[in-house]
Amino acid sequence: MTVNKWLIFGLLLASMPAPAQACGPDALGVSREIAVGGAPQIGLKTYPRTLSLADHEVVLTFDDGPSPATRKVLDALAAQCAKATFFLIGRNAQAMPELVRREIAEGHTVGSHSWSHPSKSLRALDLADGIAEIERGDKAVAAASGGTASHFFRFPGFGDSPALLEAAAMRKMPVFGTDLWASDWNPMTSERELNLLMTRLRKAGRGMILLHDIHRQTADMIPSLLRTLHAEGFKLVHLVPGPDAPELRAAPDGWTSETEAFYRKMFGELARPTPRPQQSTN
Ligand SMILES: [Zn+2]
């Protein structure tokens, strides 16, 4: 081959997706998938029902990306053959489509998290503006992914409302709250973030976990988190789009919405969204 041919050959190799990671028993991996379709509302911080996870089963979700720190998160997940769900801000997806495509190529699930993540939350906007944020975010993520993203949706700051939930349901968008978080919007060391999250997870025993792949402290924590989950016998469940709503588990008696309590404190006049009667908890 001439030098030019070698150069072209090299460029072709570099543009190919990385080969699938060979993971043995030392890796966390994925233990099973749950297909999510329909328009359920899932996650105990906000809704009185969540995924039907067994003891020691966890789901990893990341919000607010893609961002430069996303690369490190993806590297750490790939090293453990672990899969996650990414809820992307539409304008970030539009700005960094290569990272959206990488998430998809590496087997993760991609959903949306509004177009611009308004600081006031969608419920504080005019209804038409709130719906436009949902639609534009969903379209931007779909475009950046080449049409392969899911229609999974998570409200910025969990700031939903009955009308916005209805709008999402009409568009067949499953709405995700979460069960656990690492409070990684607060600056802290990766070690402290890991300890905080694992303490909460050991107490809960299972659950959907919310992290943010815009924070370096979180990206730095992921390798240790995945190793710790594996060492402590936690199993990773991967969410994928499906035709129907999955089996859900009802919240324990005495459940209250933690995120709603926050919004009541912030904006006392906004009432708790009424749970939709057609929601199944079986
Ligand atoms: Zn967010």
Q: Report the separation in Å between the CA atom of 155 and the middle of ligand 1, taken as the mean of its atom positions.
A: 7
| Domain over 28-266 is classified CATH 3.40.50.410 | no
Model pLDDT, residue 25 = 84
> Residues with beta carbon < 5 A to ion ligand 1?
63-64, 156
- Kindly name the residue from 108, 113, 151, 212 that is annotated as catalytic: 212
Domain ranges of the chain: 28-266
Q: Report the separation in Å between the CA atom of 87 and the middle of ligand 1, taken as the mean of its atom positions.
A: 8
Model pLDDT, residue 178 = 98
Q: Report the separation in Å between the CA atom of 70 and the middle of ligand 1, taken as the mean of its atom positions.
A: 14
Ranges of residues in the chain with a pLDDT under 70 are 1-21, 268-282
Q: Report the separation in Å between the CA atom of 90 and the middle of ligand 1, taken as the mean of its atom positions.
A: 11
Span 20-49, pLDDT tens digits: 557 888 899 999 999 999 999 999 999 999
Q: Report the separation in Å between the CA atom of 89 and the middle of ligand 1, taken as the mean of its atom positions.
A: 8
Q: Please indicate whether residue 75 is annotated as part of the active site.
A: no
Model pLDDT, residue 29 = 97
Q: Report the separation in Å between the CA atom of 26 and the middle of ligand 1, taken as the mean of its atom positions.
A: 32
- Kindly name the residue from 63, 64, 179, 184 that is annotated as catalytic: 63
Span 11-23, pLDDT tens digits: 444 444 444 557 8
**Which of left, alpha, beta for 209 (phi over 0: left; psi -120 to 50: alpha)?**
beta
For the record, the structure tokens of 97 come out as 């489509």
CB under 8 Å, gap of 24 or more: what pairs does 30-34 form?
30/81, 30/82, 30/83, 30/236, 30/237, 30/238, 31/57, 31/235, 31/236, 31/237, 32/235, 32/237, 32/238, 33/237, 33/238, 33/239, 33/240, 34/59, 34/237, 34/238, 34/239, 34/240, 34/242, 34/246
Residue pair 246/36 in contact by the 8 Å Cβ criterion: yes
Q: Please indicate whether residue 63 is annotated as part of the active site.
A: yes
